Copies of this chain bind each other. A is one copy, B any other.
Amino acid sequence: MRSVLISGGCGFLGSHLIDRLLLRTDLERLVVVDNLWTGSMRNIAHIDDPRLGLEIQDAESFVSHHRFDEIIHLASPASPLWYMREPARTIRANIGGALNLLTLLKPDGRFCFASTSEVYGDPLVSPQPETYRGSVDCTGPRSSYDESKRCTEALLFEQRRVADLDVRVVRLFNTYGPRTRIDDGRAVSNFIAQALTTGIVTVYGDGAQSRSWGYVDDIIEGMERFFWRDPITHQGPLNIGNNCEISVLEIAEFVCSLVPGSRIEHHAPVPQDPTNRCPDLTLARQVLPGWEARTAYQEGVRMTLEWFREQMAIGSALENRAAGAAAL
């Protein structure tokens, strides 16, 4: 039986991964460490499982006498809006988190880490294979995230070299889906939230910058197989994403087509917004045979939109109830 720690488990990806972890019959205990900076209790509120324990703490300072068989380190904001506001905290969460959590791992334990396609920066090569060294401005406005992910990879692969650490590192490309924060700030969720509220969908620049949009269920499937389900010897880094490049503008237009009355407004481009990002999935196909990000963006965006609609309905029902209670 295995004891697992997941940092950032109340976040978007973390909470989906917890749903999968709790399906494991070999799981004895699951400790979730989350400081609720960008994560939310709502993401795991549906869970009723005695194996789960929640610790509302920073990954970089969490202390425990328990040692874990597996640690999954996800603690970090992932949206530029959030990490650009608190760069030092972002660096502490990633690297400080990894350094601290490594001390809680059993000697033969496995350490899994969610790295990012941002390690490729504004790539001069497309699609990006894992061997591409990247083009990151280490003094730029996105550097706290990009460089702390890069440095955490360095830490883990160096611990493998000097101490034979069993590591699993995925590089995740753009992911979207239910449980994204309404104020997350990244394109898909932002477009949906804007279409459903103000009706004005803001596209930065001309919208020609492309991304490979991965629907959360597909991405989680890849992570689950790589982190614990499949017997795999490769330790990463491993690109996980959808390699179907779609422009930001196309997504915005599709969202508008689903929400009557919404329309696009163009704003000034964001500094150092990568012009393209697309995973080379050659290695993923070898390591995870049969895996693919199958969900077309039309389907994924529809499901995400439905979820946002439900959340907003629940939100306004609660507000109405609160207003009613206040009126009594």
Contacts and interface: CB of A to CB of B under 8 A. Distances in A.
Contact of A147 (B84, B92, B135, B147): B147
B87 A155 contact: yes
A140 B95 CA distance: 17
B87 A92 contact: no
Contact of A135 (B133, B150, B169, B237): B133
Contact of A137 (B133, B137, B148, B159): B133
A129 interface: no
Interface in A146-202: 146-148, 150-151, 153-155, 157-159, 161-162, 169
Nearest to A143: B154
Nearest to A235: B139
Copies in the complex: 2
A151 B147 contact: yes
A134 interface: yes
Contacts of A150: 136, 138, 147, 150-151
| Majority secondary structure, A binding face | helix
Interface residues of A, number: 39
A139 B237 contact: yes
B144 A154 contact: yes
A88 B155 contact: yes
Contacts of A80: none
A83 B119 CA distance: 22
A96 interface: yes
A139 B162 contact: no
A141 interface: yes
A85 interface: yes
A154 B134 contact: no
Interface in A82-106: 84-88, 91-92, 95-96, 99, 102
Given A87-B154, A96-B96, A140-B157, 17 more contacts: A85-B162, A87-B159, A88-B99, A88-B158, A91-B155, A95-B95, A138-B154, A139-B154, A139-B169, A143-B158, A144-B154, A144-B155, A144-B158, A146-B154, A147-B153, A147-B154, A150-B151
Closest 10 pairs between A and B when the two form their complex, measured CB to CB? A87-B158, A143-B154, A147-B154, A151-B151, A139-B157, A147-B151, A138-B150, A133-B135, A144-B158, A138-B153
Interface of A: 84-88, 91-92, 95-96, 99, 102, 119, 121, 133-141, 143-144, 146-148, 150-151, 153-155, 157-159, 161-162, 169, 237
